[in-house]
Amino acid sequence: MVTADLNTSGGVERAAAAALDLLGGIDVLVDNAGRNTQVPDGVLAASDEDWLANLDANLLSAVRLDRALVPHMTAQGHGAVVHVSSNAARYPQPNGAPYAAAKAALNAYSKSLALACGPHGVRVTAVMPGVIETDAVEASLREAAERTGRDLDTIRKEFHQRLAAPLGRPGRPEEAAELIAFLASPRASYLTGITVSIDGGLLPTL
């Protein structure tokens, strides 16, 4: 196992070097690092630190890792990169504007990288999960409960109602993982430059 702080250039370089040494090469890269540093008082209350924390974690971590590893894919003439974005990029919430903006930038960057790498046999796609019941989501709900002094179950219920998908439930991590595995596999060999939502039909836009 290789661990590193992807918010720093040095951490990314160490992780990339260790991974290449461990694996002997790279065929698939899934950029799944990220966090939602929320601003409870709304977008105008977001500080420079809030913005930079979200940009570092959700955009620049992927940029740094790609910069370190994708050249190995282009040199060998094949590979797949999957960026884990968020449907917040198209459905932003007032207390998560820095996060949503960073994920929207990740989508634009993914398209640019796909155009650059396609001629070298490397595919780049992005996945936009909706509400997925991960440990990070649960931690965020617990933090909100502690901050406001409200009941955790009530906050969880309100959260699910506010972002309720037509399927009537949050997604499971393994459902997002199945899509990522497909996009990284040879079965998706003619897919690149696309952004795919997996949100139970939550997004209200075309």
Q: Which residues are catalytic?
A: 99
How many other CB atoms are found less than 10 A from the CB of residue 163?
17
How many other CB atoms are found less than 10 A from the CB of residue 116?
13
d(CA 40, CA 54): 15
Q: What is the DSSP letter of 170?
A: P
d(CA 13, CA 64): 8
Closest to 123 in 3D by CA, of 74, 84, 75, 86 = 74
d(CA 141, CA 154): 10
> Is there a contact between 39 and 98 (Cβ–Cβ < 8 Å)?
yes
What are the residues whose beta carbons fall under 8 Å from the beta carbon of 83, sequence distance 6 or more?
A: 31, 62, 106, 107, 109, 110, 124, 125, 126, 127
The residues that bridge with 171 in the sheet, in sequence order, are 132
**Tokens coding 96:** 């998560």
